Structure 1
Amino acid sequence: MKHKHLTAVMPLLVSLLIPITAISASAAKEVEVNGVRLQYVDHGSGEPIVFVHGVPSDLRSWEPVREGFAKKYRFIAYTQRYFGTRPWPDDGKNLTVATLADDLAKFIATLNVGPVHLVGWSYGGQVTTTAAVKNPSLVRSLILYEASVASMLPTDSAEGKAAREDRAKLLAPAIAAAKAGDAVQAAKRLQEAVFQLPPGEFDRLPQDWQTRVLDNARTLPLVFSASPPPVITCDMLKSFARPTLVMHGEKTQAFYALIAEAIGKCVPSAQLVVLPNVGHDGPRRDPAAFTAAVVEFLSSR
């Protein structure tokens, strides 16, 4: 594994305090996948890059980096089933990582754009990793930013144990709110937990961020009660031969950093990049640095 710590790759172009203008709904396209209709944005030309969002979110989470990637690549971001503002096709029983990973594979195949560069962030990184390991022929390269692949968190070290305990403690308020039927509070507490924000700080975030998260708050009871995701092991990743870039923020929680480092050690010739001065919010807080790191990686393939 190659390890790289970026320092001041590019000046910050967008900060947490500057709202991002989300792409209009009229500009989004639709495709039917596994019996559901998924919205997606297709911008630019060149080698296709498919972006997979986290929780609770949708394709709008990638707006800070869309223009940067579309200058050189075909940027494709989609909203996974149950996310976004559309009515659900059922009661949510199919919201599992396994289902979403299968949707992703079918999405790529239906658009006939594979093999693609596949980018996943957080929960989206878990979905992309699951899809990539199962369908390597659809993947040109895999890029993960703080993928929440919990099965890769070390279990044989005090550091790994402490990270699990901290994670459970941080998520407890959001899970409790979801179980109590308050999805909005669950979404707010989850954002504050994973982005390391002070209590109540969610209400002071840019309006576009708040809107996107609250639009997707209804998914959290489903996510928290879903069946466990498919287990990803180091042995599985050792046989994954596609070029892989694994990233985490310098200031992120140990949970994400340890998972990123573990994945980087297991995937053959993976490159690990640490983005300076950011946490789990890297693609939004410093979209220029995130974009530059990915473009540099892709340009060297």
Structure 2
Amino acid sequence: MPTLRTEDGVDLYYEEAGSGAPMLFVHEFAGDHRSWEGQMRHFARRYRCVAYNARGYPPSAVPTDPEAYSQARAADDVAAVIRGLGLGPTHVVGCSMGAYATLHLGLRHPSLARSLTAVGVGYGSEPSRQAQFRAESQATAARFRNEGMAAVAAVYGRGPTRLAYERNDPRGFAEFLDRLAGHSAEGSALTMLGVQSRRPSLFELEAALRALAVPTLVVAGDEDEPALVPSLFLKRVVPTAALLVMPGCGHTPNLEDPGNFDRALLEFVTRVDAGRWHRPAAPPA
């Protein structure tokens, strides 16, 4: 079973396929490396593709120290995968929690990123929603511990941003719920408390994001309401960012509409590799 070790001694499970320019996929809270299987199969035809499980998600290690989980750790784990596998500057693609880690990689370790793709990012970032998001995260963590993973997954996995997935692909959605139910309850609780509930709002990072020079693609489903305003914010402040809103999609466009998602991602990384992704002109004063 392939693993690599982070600087703080946590073993991360990973899978890879293909050869060529490196592309790394970073999963959401309710997913794992298998969330990117469709993209691994598609892009491995021309790229070296890697997907891994975050700490807290077996077969990666589940550290018991709550301080082992944070937004900074999550970003540094992305860096650990890139360095540990000798990938060099990498196209990094993340969804939701993984999109936060992807953006923070660009802020903390920009030399490791060839491009950044942030999908379904921003839940809880709007200042008016942040307190509620943190309270909900803490309550959900307690439920994982008290009720068990399977019981909570049946409810958590059916939130309003998931309805489009269930409608568009019932078979895939059932598989998503089954995988979520099999996650570690303790790992999920620690991740929810250490990463999700404590991460800074994107709006708090405006100054740093305005200085981000890595080519960036922001993707949101038009039925993923909590991601729409933050995604537009990123488009406005990140000087290298483009925004794609995918119709009829919720929180996981890569799963709900993989054909269009893959085409858009391929167009983006191809332009980056060709040196054709430029900073857009500044808007008129």
TM-score by length of 1: 0.77
1:41-56 mapped onto 2 (5 Å cutoff): 41-56=15-30
Question: Which amino acid in the other structure matches residue 138 of structure 1?
Answer: L
Moved more, 282-291 or 218-227: 218-227
Classify 1:36/1:275 alpha carbon distance in 2 versus 1 (closer, same or farther; 3 Å): same
Classify 1:56/1:196 alpha carbon distance in 2 versus 1 (closer, same or farther; 3 Å): closer
Structure 1 position 79, deviation (Å): 0.8
Report the aligned-residue RMSD. Answer: 3.0
**2:192 matches 1:224:** yes
TM-score by length of 2: 0.81
SS in 2 for 1:293: helix
From 253, 256, 278, the counterpart of 2:249? 278
Q: Please list the CA deviations of residues 50-102 of structure 1 after superposition, one character each: whole Å capped at 9, or x if unmatched.
A: 11001132211101221111122111111111112455243454122221211
Equivalent position of 1:185 in the other structure: 151
CA distance in structure 2 between the partners assigned to 1:225 and 1:171 by the alignment: 7
**2:176 matches 1:209:** yes
> Higher relative contact order by CA 8 Å / sep ≥ 6: 1 or 2?
1
Classify 1:36/1:166 alpha carbon distance in 2 versus 1 (closer, same or farther; 3 Å): closer
Equivalent position of 1:249 in the other structure: 221
Equivalent position of 2:229 in the other structure: 258
Equivalent position of 1:112 in the other structure: 86
Q: Does the 8 Å contact 1:174/1:185 carry over to 2? A: no
Structure 1 position 276, deviation (Å): 1.8
Structure 1 position 208, deviation (Å): 3.2
Structure 1 position 167, deviation (Å): 6.0
CA distance in structure 1 between the partners assigned to 2:243 and 2:94 by the alignment: 15
Q: Does the 8 Å contact 1:248/1:273 carry over to 2? A: yes
**2:14 matches 1:37:** no
1:5-16 mapped onto 2 (5 Å cutoff): none
Unaligned stretches of 5+ residues in structure 1? 1-27, 156-160
Q: Please list the CA deviations of residues 137-192 of structure 1 after superposition, one character each: whole Å capped at 9, or x if unmatched.
A: 111111010123644x3x4xxxxx4x669868987974563364433333232211
Classify 1:261/1:221 alpha carbon distance in 2 versus 1 (closer, same or farther; 3 Å): same
**2:139 matches 1:140:** no
Q: Does the 8 Å contact 1:125/1:149 carry over to 2? A: no
From 195, 198, 202, the counterpart of 2:161? 195
Q: Please list the CA deviations of residues 232-268 of structure 1 after superposition, one character each: whole Å capped at 9, or x if unmatched.
A: 4111111010111001012222x11111111111110
Q: Does the 8 Å contact 1:187/1:213 carry over to 2? A: yes
Q: Please list the CA deviations of residues 110-131 of structure 1 after superposition, one character each: whole Å capped at 9, or x if unmatched.
A: 2111210111100111111112
Structure 1 position 204, deviation (Å): 7.9
Q: Does the 8 Å contact 1:116/1:140 carry over to 2? A: yes
Q: Does the 8 Å contact 1:174/1:189 carry over to 2? A: no
Equivalent position of 2:99 in the other structure: 125
CA distance in structure 1 between the partners assigned to 2:147 and 2:70 by the alignment: 20
Equivalent position of 1:13 in the other structure: none
